[in-house]
């Protein structure tokens, strides 16, 4: 039996990356159920806004004369605002889930390629553990769509826990 003065488990600084998928929220729930006593507060929750696909927007604007903006600034601003609202909603849901488990949370939003930004945020925040969900894509889908969790496992400077949702 441990003595009352014996130190408890070392608390880890952890980050969970979330997106709009059920898989990332499952990873957050799993981490809260299984790792909460070992996580140093606050738990960091990150979402990444992908760069706007302006190539698709500008392709529709080929008829514009030279020297005119290809994409209307108002359209870009509206798309950025929509992404910001989606990110805020994702983080609000994550905060609610953490509150239900009594876990303090700090949220952050990054903009860029999700897989690269997740690894960068984990390094900048000096986390001990990065937690991501898995979309359970097959090998062909991973080949064409890529895998954020696979990228993080190979490029993160800290350990990565990939949580797969049981079917």
Look up the domain containing 143 and give its range: 14-164
- Note whether residue 147 is domain-resident: yes
- Residues 1 and 70 sit within 8 Å (Cβ to Cβ): no
Query: Among all chains, which residue has been given the structure tokens 């889930």?
Result: 97
Q: Which residue has the tokens 């500008």?
A: 58
Asked whether residue 1 is domain-assigned, the answer is no
Residues of the chain with pLDDT under 50: 1-3, 59-60, 144-145
pLDDT recorded at residue 64: 55
d(CA 16, CA 138) in angstroms, rounded, equals 23
Q: Tell me, yes or no, whether 55 lies in a domain.
A: yes
Indicate whether 71 belongs to any domain. yes
The CATH number of the domain holding residue 21 is 3.40.50.620
Would you state the pLDDT for residue 1? 46
Q: pLDDT tens, 28-46? A: 999 999 999 999 999 999 9
Specify if 139 maps to a domain: yes
For 98, other C-beta atoms within 10 Å of its C-beta total 23
In the chain, the number of structural domains is 1
Cα dihedral 93, 20, 162, 125, rounded to 10, equals -60
**% of the chain beyond a pLDDT of 70:** 76
């Amino acid at each position: 039996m441990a003595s009352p003065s014996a130190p408890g488990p070392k608390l880890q600084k952890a980050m969970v990356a979330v997106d709009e998928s059920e898989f990332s929220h499952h990873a957050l729930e799993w981490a809260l159920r299984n790792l909460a006593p070992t996580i140093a507060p606050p738990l960091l929750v990150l979402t990444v806004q992908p760069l706007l696909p302006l190539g698709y927007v500008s392709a529709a604007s080929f008829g514009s004369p030279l020297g005119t903006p290809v994409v209307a600034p108002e359209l870009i601003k509206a798309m950025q605002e929509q992404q910001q609202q989606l990110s805020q909603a994702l983080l609000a849901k994550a905060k609610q889930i953490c509150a239900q488990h009594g876990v303090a949370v700090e949220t952050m939003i990054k903009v860029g390629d999700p897989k690269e930004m997740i690894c960068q945020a984990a390094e900048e925040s000096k986390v001990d553990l990065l937690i991501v969900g898995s979309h359970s894509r097959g090998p062909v889908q991973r080949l064409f769509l890529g895998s954020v969790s696979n990228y993080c496992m190979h490029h993160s400077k800290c350990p990565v826990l990939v949580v797969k949702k049981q079917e």
